[in-house]
Amino acid sequence: MKHLIAVINQKGGVGKTTTSINFAAGLALRGDRVLLVDLDPQAHSTIGVGIEPGSFQASIGDVLAKKKTIQEIVLPTNVDGLFIAPAHIRLDKIEQQLNTEFFRESFLKRALAGLGYDHIVIDCRPTLGTLTINALYASSFIVVPCEMGRYALDGFADLMETIEHVKGNNGPKEGFIRILLTKYDSRNKVSNDWVFQQLEPYKSLIFQTSIRRNEALNQAQMAQEPIFSFKSDCSGAQDYKALVEEFSNLWQNQTSEKN
């Protein structure tokens, strides 16, 4: 496997699910085999790729509860090469049960080891609880979507501290974290300037690609499909395609620097 990418921000509604679905679909459209892991009891990624909550027997919660293997719960999607490990509302209860287990932060990493995917993308819930810590622990790359606006960086320091705590010895920060600016609107100059000023210390970690505010992204989520099949010529599709390219180049450059 090349990458295990966790999409994390404990702030709600910043674009984690929109990014997880479209980034995973964008990677699959390049010909890679991709697993999208829905680690949020809200199950928005599951629904967003067209899988209805009542239509499957087992989900990622059963894997974390050690009742099923990942292979037993994975479902195909309408996108060639894109598979989903679905979530169910029960995952909330399973997270609470995990809280009393030893080595609880490593359950997901062990469950995902040795699978035949090129990339695994994990959509996290908006908390820094045990599920998110599992995603962080398992990940080789972290994407932090940040919604452009006055409160964009609320809780950001806590998030970076948690990432450092979990990934502390795993190499330089630059290598494995990127901030993704979402819902960007160039007309909001004052709030954009404010966010950029606050992000100055993290400048080197920001993806060059920003995701512009685009109603089609919202509609695609309601239509339960990735943006590329919903409206391939909209700015949302262009931005997520650019993100996939930037990510691939970033990784290629890092790999060639190491060699």
Ligand X SMILES: Nc1ncnc2c1ncn2[C@@H]1O[C@H](COP(=O)(O)OP(=O)(O)OP(=O)(O)O)[C@@H](O)[C@H]1O
Residues 116-145 touching ligand X, rule: CB under 6 A, are: 126
Q: Does 15 bind ligand X (CB under 6 A)?
A: yes
Per-residue string for binding with ligand X, 167-196, x by CB under 6 A? ---------------xx-------------
Q: Which is nearer to ligand X, 10 or 140 (CB)?
A: 10
Binding region for ligand X (CB under 6 A) out of 14-22, 76-84, 94-102, 153-161:
14-22
Report d(CA 21, CA 92) in Å as an integer.
Answer: 21
Residues 6 or more apart in contact with residue 103 via CB below 8 angstroms: none
Q: Among residues 4, 214, 231, 247, which is the contact residue for ligand X, using CB under 6 A? A: 214
Q: Considering only residues 42 through 81, tell me which ones interact with ligand X, judged by CB under 6 A.
A: 42, 44
Binding residue (CB under 6 A) for ligand X from 25, 43, 49, 211: 211
Is residue 231 within the footprint of ligand X (CB under 6 A)?
Answer: no
Site for ligand X contains 209 (CB under 6 A) = no
Residue closer to ligand X, measured from CB, 66 or 150: 150
Interface with ligand X includes 18 (CB under 6 A)? Answer: yes
Q: Stretches 51-59, 105-113, 187-195, 215-223: which one binds ligand X (CB under 6 A)?
A: 215-223
Q: Taking the complex as a whole, how short is the minimal distance between the CB of residue 89 and Mg ion, in angstroms?
A: 14
Which residues of this protein are in contact with ligand X, per CB under 6 A?
A: 12-18, 40, 42, 44, 126, 182-183, 211, 213-214, 217-218, 221
